[in-house]
Structure 1
Amino acid sequence: MVEKKEKRRGLGRGLSALMADLDTVETASVPDPEASDDAPRRPDLLVPIDHIEPNPDQPRRTFDGEPLEELANSIAHRGVIQPLIVRPHPEKNEHYQIVAGERRWRAAQMAQLHELPVVVRAFDDTEMLEVAIIENIQRADLNPVDEAAGYRQLMDRFGHTQEQMAEALGKSRSHIANSLRLLNLPQDVLSWLGRGQLTAGHARALVANENASDLAKKIIAKNLSVRETEALVRKPKDARAPRPRKSDAEKDADTRALEQDLSGALGLPVTIDHKQEGQSGRISISYKSLEELDEICQLLSRGLG
């Protein structure tokens, strides 16, 4: 099993080692004037801007116009504070491909700079993509959908676990787990979330709800808060004829005993709604905090593994 995981990852360098190359990458949309006392990393080279090309596999495809103009104005007055991370172009001599810093490269073009400071790293194609994903995740202005997609890419493409990412990226495991859950939402809800019409708090309340799209439309139309959204999600589907919940008295002894056994094993309330007329039903596990949800996710993950 260990050999299989190592092969899947396919990298000689660890995630934390790759992170070290991003210590100097700016994460704010506009450089902080108050941060100018921090000494920037000394560049390896000053390279003509037309000798630098973007990463063809850059995961981030959209660059918002207004923040880019603000960055361009800052660069025009102060220059590029932090160098770009690049690698030698695999096909062109004295040319380079951007590993991290495409926003600065685009803004520098708008500011009509002729040269850019760079730090050169000998990344292969796989490492280059991995660093690009990590840089995007670190961005302060990244929307929740892109952040979750970045975590998913790191897991699927490179075999990183949630624990590895949490440690290397300085995030809690529950944050990463809850972020990944957002990707289960319908595409239209993800679009609204990505455009900022919904917050991550709104979206988390809609995960696993079969009426997520309709509820999201109501949330946007009525400008509901997260608390109001949670109350809306808890409402019965048909307020005029709410489905009666089966009481414990109506359940058979075996079902109640099984509920108690599962609740004791998990340490959380478990409810079993078994259809008397058939062999199907539903199991519900209740939690009161994100930490309890994280524990449930870990238990299920170990069971699936």
Structure 2
Amino acid sequence: MADAKRQSTEPAKVIGLQERRLGRTVLRTYRSQTDIDNVVPNEKQPRLGPKLDDELQLQIEANEGVFEPLLVEPHPDIPDKFRIIDGDRRWTNSQALVEAGREQFRTIPIEVTDRTLSDDERLRVWIYIHRQRKEWDTREKEMVAYRLIELMGRASAANILGISVRELDKLADVFELSERFENLRDPSAAITWSREVMGLSKKLVTPSVIDAIVTKVNRKQITNSKELRKLRTILRDPVASAHFLQDEGSIDSAMLEVAEAKPIRKTGFSSDLDVAVKSMQALPWTELEKLKGDPDTLAKIEEAEKLLASLKQNLSK
């Protein structure tokens, strides 16, 4: 009995290697299945935050197991174990089901590399895979940039992501600010709030402005991230800006404080002349057709020409 149990948990032998190209990295892998306890999470996982997900557990149950195999490598330090390259959330939620007594989810599908990858290779593979998924642009790229800086420094992180150090710093700043937004109905929306703030002019967004925005969002005084775009107008107006920074100030109340630019109205002869010119310009062609050859109209135009010529002569002296 012990022999049978040992055989069921031993890693499968390498059979039928296939090449899998992931960006600049080419892996040789094989497909197998293994007990969930034979898989160990990656301590240098680029994704931060909680991994338990009720919706993902429902998907695993509906599919009667994990649908997409976990990408794993031979563990460098623990014999006969695999370390996760990609699939940490699938493993975490499968384990949660097993711990809840759902033993049918103990066996999980895996795709195993023929060797242990370097840290650089492992991160490049993970990033390449995740860039193909919609979550990358919606919430992951800033988080990964921040995490990579922690793991390997700015220069190496920028190199792996294929961006400049300046672009990397912007992504990391967005993530760092997003961590300050709390009590949001959807925690992943914090990145959206942070992007809106960082999208404002650096000249307008001082530390005190950022503090005010974070406080008002956390208090539910601002409930829509798109409202932050109005700050481009508010922060340029000294009175409106000062009002917004007050404890009770909101986007809407600050907008009421923005001084309205009133057009300067022309008066006198120059204004009357503008009216006359615009009236002539607005005359429809159908009316012109009717006035062709009309002696009274031609006489008035001639009189106007003489008057305008006299005015021009007097005003030019």
Relative to the length of structure 1, the TM-score reads 0.51
**Could you say which residue in structure 2 is the equivalent of 1:105?**
91
Task: Please list, as runs of the form range in 1=range in 2, the aligned pairs for 1:1-150 lying within 5 A after superposition.
Answer: 16-18=23-25, 44-65=31-52, 68-78=53-63, 79-112=65-98, 113-121=105-113, 122=115, 123-136=117-130, 138-141=132-135, 146-150=140-144
SS at match of 2:121: helix
SS at match of 1:85: strand
Which structure exhibits the higher relative contact order, with contacts defined as CA atoms closer than 8 Å and separated by 6 or more residues? 1
Q: Which moved more, 1:75-84 or 1:206-215?
A: 206-215
> Cα deviations across residues 60-81 of structure 1 (Å, max 9, x unaligned)?
232354xx22212221231222
Instruction: Tell me: CA distance 1:64–1:233, structure 2 relative to 1, closer, same or farther (3 Å).
Output: farther
SS at match of 2:62: helix
Structure 1: runs of 5 or more not aligned: 1-13, 22-41, 166-172, 243-305
Code of the aligned partner of 1:202: E
Instruction: Tell me: CA distance 1:54–1:64, structure 2 relative to 1, closer, same or farther (3 Å).
Output: closer
User: Is contact 1:54-1:97 (8 Å) kept?
Assistant: yes
Code of the aligned partner of 1:160: N
User: Is contact 2:72-2:85 (8 Å) kept?
Assistant: yes
**Could you say which residue in structure 2 is the equivalent of 1:181?**
170
**Could you say which residue in structure 1 is the equivalent of 2:263?**
none
**Could you say which residue in structure 1 is the equivalent of 2:294?**
none
Higher Rg: 2
**Could you say which residue in structure 1 is the equivalent of 2:211?**
213
Which residue of 189, 199, 204 maps to 1:196? 189
Instruction: Tell me: CA distance 1:190–1:207, structure 2 relative to 1, closer, same or farther (3 Å).
Output: farther
Code of the aligned partner of 1:131: V
User: Is contact 1:87-1:120 (8 Å) kept?
Assistant: yes
Q: Which moved more, 1:85-94 or 1:126-135?
A: 126-135
Structure 2: runs of 5 or more not aligned: 1-20, 99-104, 243-317
Instruction: Tell me: CA distance 1:119–1:195, structure 2 relative to 1, closer, same or farther (3 Å).
Output: closer
Relative to the length of structure 2, the TM-score reads 0.50
Code of the aligned partner of 2:215: K
Question: How many Å separate the matches in 1 of 2:198 and 2:214?
Answer: 11
**Could you say which residue in structure 1 is the equivalent of 2:295?**
none
> Cα deviations across residues 7-64 of structure 1 (Å, max 9, x unaligned)?
xxxxxxx97223x76xxxxxxxxxxxxxxxxxxxx95211111010001111223235
> Hey, which bits of structure 1, 4+ residues long, moved more than 6 A?
176-179
User: Is contact 2:31-2:110 (8 Å) kept?
Assistant: yes
Identity %: 21
